[in-house]
Structure formats: C-alpha cells, structure tokens
Chains A and B, each alone.
Chain A
Amino acid sequence: GAGVSQSPSNKVTEKGKDVELRCDPISGHTALYWYRQSLGQGLEFLIYFQGNSAPDKSGLPSDRFSAERTGGSVSTLTIQRTQQEDSAVYLCASSLQRGLQETQYFGPGTRLLVL
C-alpha cells in the first residue's frame, strides 16, 4: 500500500517568506509526527497529532512554526517569516496508534532551503 508522502520534495525560499509543507500519512493511521533533520544532526521532534488534535507541540522551536491536521489525515506544517536557520529536512511520520510499540513510518521528507 501507499506509504507516507510529503510535498514538495524540495523548497527554496527567501528569508522572511512563509512556507507550507504537506504530509499525507498512511490511510487509517491516527498518530502523526513531524521531525526536523538539520545538517549533521539527528532528527528533532517537533509536534505530535492524535487525530486532529495536537496534544504535544513541545518541539516547535518558535511561534513562527505551526501545524494543523484536518480530517484525521493530511497535515500541514507552516513556517512564517522563514529564517536561514530553518533550513533543514522536515520529515513526517505516522503510526497506526500512539505508542512506542507502534512502528513510525516516515515519509521521504521536504528539503527546505532558506536563502
């Protein structure tokens, strides 16, 4: 079946512009996660959704970052007034349910470059 998909695969933007990154999780997966992978770094947790609600936004680095999920499916991560330090690969993952015993399936990521 289809895996997690993300779009766009690459995004180049100018400092100060807003960007939207999209994630389509595996159908039927209730839990959805966003991570950020900066150059030479591991993945950094950003936000977790259970259904449409986001009980854990603790990893969002600033109030310029926001995310929503609609219909228990597609999620959008929005970065306002982008800064150069926002350049990274943004990865989305989904799992059937919440829980560390549930495998998180990752998308291919969106590579964001802020000039």
Chain B
Amino acid sequence: AQSVTQPDIHITVSEGASLELRCNYSYGATPYLFWYVQSPGQGLQLLLKYFSGDTLVQGIKGFEAEFKRSQSSFNLRKPSVHWSDAAEYFCAVGATDSSYKLIFGSGTRLLVRP
C-alpha cells in the first residue's frame, strides 16, 4: 500500500534559521505531492503542490519544496523561519488508485525558538 513517511515527529529551530522538513513516499510513477500546514485550532492549509514539470516548487509564506524522484522525496524548505511558522506540517501524496484521495504522513510539529 502507498505510504508517506515524515521521519521527524518534532523539529525545533531558532527564529531566522533555515528549515527543512523531510518527506518520503512509497511509490507512484508520477506522484501528485502536497504539503499542508495546520496551525492550532485551524484547518489544514495548502502550502504547495507538485504535479509535473519543474521539480522545485514555490508555495505560500516563503516555502518551497523539491521533488527528487531518485530519492522518492519531497522535502519542504524555508530559508528563514518566523515565529508564526510554528505549526504542524503534513506531507501528502495522491493515491495511485484514486483521482481524489490523499494519503497523509503523520506530520512534523515545528517549534520556533525566539
């Protein structure tokens, strides 16, 4: 079965430092890949998505992600973290047997030190 792995349960970074959140997916010839953010008391908000083309994808709030087929990875990055980025981040992949179903990782909680 398809799966998404986010190996880091928690990550703590200092404000202004760079950030990379890891995501690996199990298989999919041409995967549809997503990153969502969930702030406390809020629903999930789409940060960015990859379907095809340029493997470096720009999203909202200064985030970007790079698709690496050889590593089955879709890591999320931000060059300089702000305190307001503290939240939980979910990576997701479109299910290969579905035109709408998303398979989510278990999430990475980001803490930002002042």
Contact = CB atoms under 8 A, between A and B. Distances in A.
In order of increasing CB-CB distance, the 4 nearest A-B pairs are: A106-B43, A42-B104, A100-B94, A106-B44
A42 B105 contact: yes
Interface string A76-115: 0000000000000001010100111111111111000000
A98 B90 contact: no
Given A42-B90, A42-B107, A106 B100 contact: no
Given A45-B102, A99-B100, A104-B102, A109 B107 contact: no
Interface residues of A, number: 28
A91 B43 contact: yes
Given A41-B106, A45-B102, A106-B45, A100 B32 contact: yes
A27 B98 CA distance: 24
Given A42-B106, A43-B104, A108 B90 contact: no
B43 A45 contact: no
B41 interface: yes
A56 interface: yes
B4 to A, nearest CB: 7
Contacts of A42: 4, 6, 90, 92, 104-107
A40 interface: yes
Nearest to B91: A42
B83 interface: no
A98 B106 CA distance: 24
